[in-house]
Homo-oligomer: A and B are copies of this chain.
Amino acid sequence: MAGKPSGGRGARFAGAMDPAAAALNASVHFDRRLLRDDVRGSQAHARMLVVAGLISAADGDAIVAGLDRVATEFQSGGRALDPALEDVHMNVESRLIELIGEAGRRLHPARSRNDQVATDLKLYARRAALDIVSAIDLARVALCRQARAHAATLLPGYTHLQRAQVVTLGHHLLAYAEMLGRDRGRFVDAERRAAESPLGSGALAGTGLPIDRARTAETLEFSGGPTHNSLDAVSDRDFAAEIAFACALLAVHLSRFGEELVLWSTTEFGFVRLGEGYCSGSSLMPQKRNPDVAELLRGKSGRAIGDLVALLTISKGLTLAYNKDLQETQEPLYDAVETAQQSLAVMPGLVAALEFDVGRMRAAAEDPALGATDLAEELVRHGVPFRSAHEVIGRLVRRAEEKKVTLRGLDAGDLRAIDAALSPEVMAALDPGRAVAARTVVGGPAPAMVEREVARLEAELTALGLEP
């Protein structure tokens, strides 16, 4: 049909694209995610064209209203995007022209698909970043609540997955709140750094028409104003890489949480029971109660890292300005974002439904070996140089192993034989509750410190309008 943009090929070409090439080139199956951003960007552009005197007010109004209709048609599912029109942008413009005629043909001056897709993708990315920030906050609320409930619940802390020192469950859970807090900061930074509007950069070289880029930037809430270099603006996908990185590191954190849930829900550890809504059974083994969701949280990290690699590698070695390779940056971004969203979506319910076996944790925390460091510190308090204290306790551990008893099972003779300083008073440091309560250093596991950190987190979350 004359007058319709034919997927960007224009009058320049006599024939159609080769079918295999068209398949390689197709993007509507993924760039449909940009529909609402595309419409929003085009509306801002049209309104600005009116003010700049490049189109009439009537045409501007017709375009804005027409775009609303286009959006509704495609979003409602009443109308499908046509792959023959290459991408979502051409679908929108083409349908607009069908709906409103001549006025629709006046939408595209002073812009190009290059600045258009850069704008759409940045709008999407910023939305996605803020959405993930909210989802992170909900996960932090859930962790905060469980941490408050378990501020004084004892369990072994591990290094190298060997029992190391007694800690509190609230402290353990808050470690994940810390990680998520840093993740949040990265998304906020990424969103802020993406706050410059590419719209008006044209295909690569701006435009000679008297447009007002600051106005469209403001309409689209790009608080950083317009970008400062048109060649960079149309070829920049840093914001996508930065968000994909934030997603990948978030996914790594969730993988650690997932690993621990898998581990803790083993028969051997038995520290936690996942909510039934987060488990699956087996098609063969009738007794199984598998922590599928925790495993998926773990596995998704590989996917997110892969998305990041794709984004960075695609951008490697590209000359200025726009290159078609950049189309390939969309899917990894979408996948990274949606993986993050899906993973975070399970967190509030998953965390809230965790049933900790407090008795089993407490029993494990009674393991006297966990108090070895506390013993050493007690010796230091009694004036023994630390290195010497470390050696004394090392001998104590070996003696206990030889006798096949725990540290508490050594008798007074054993203690005397090792070091005179090992008085009953000193040995009392082995009590797990006493040991952990003493570790009131900032960031320490003592119940009092956990409560302090919970309060700090609550204050932050409350200030964000949440109810932790």
Contacts and interface: CB of A to CB of B under 8 A. Distances in A.
9 contacts: A11-B394, A20-B345, A24-B345, A108-B283, A160-B288, A174-B232, A178-B228, A182-B238, A242-B249
B292 A442 contact: no
Interface in A156-207: 156-167, 171-172, 174-179, 182, 185-186, 189, 193, 200-207
Contacts of A15: 276-277
Oligomeric state, in number of copies?
4
Interface string A393-411: 1111110000000010000
Contact of A238 (B249, B349, B372): B249
Given A314-B303, A328-B300, A349 B193 contact: no
Nearest to A274: B21
A176 B396 CA distance: 38
A390 B11 CA distance: 8
Interface in A425-468: 435-436, 438-446, 449, 453, 456
Given A10-B286, A314-B299, A346-B18, A206 B320 contact: no
A158 B108 contact: no
Contacts of A109: 377, 380, 386, 389
B178 A372 contact: no
Contacts of A106: 385-387
Interface string A262-277: 1101111100000111
A296 B318 contact: no
Contacts of A226: 442-443
B325 A295 contact: yes
A319 B300 CA distance: 16
A442 B162 CA distance: 37
B114 A23 contact: no
Interface string A333-346: 00000000011011
A62 interface: no
A385 B98 CA distance: 15
A374 B213 contact: no
A12 B397 contact: yes
A282, A312, A388 — most chain B CB neighbours (10 Å)? A282
A113, A203, A269 — most chain B CB neighbours (10 Å)? A203
A162 B289 CA distance: 8
A442 B301 contact: no
B296 A305 contact: no
Given A159-B282, A202-B284, 6 more contacts: A16-B277, A109-B380, A159-B234, A161-B265, A177-B229, A209-B377
A373 interface: yes
A227, A283, A303, A394 — most chain B CB neighbours (10 Å)? A283
Nearest to A59: B385
B292 A324 contact: yes
Given A21-B350, A158-B319, A200 B442 contact: yes
A436 B393 CA distance: 44
Given A21-B349, A23-B342, A203-B164, A443 B287 contact: no
A309 interface: yes
Contact of A206 (B176, B303, B439): B439
Contact of A165 (B285, B326, B373): B285
A231 interface: yes
Contacts of A321: 157-159, 164, 175
A401 to B, nearest CB: 9
A287 B227 CA distance: 26
Contacts of A221: none
Contacts of A355: none
A277 B17 contact: yes
B301 A316 contact: yes
B8 A283 contact: yes
B311 A309 contact: no
A33 interface: no
A310 interface: yes
Contacts of A3: 387-388
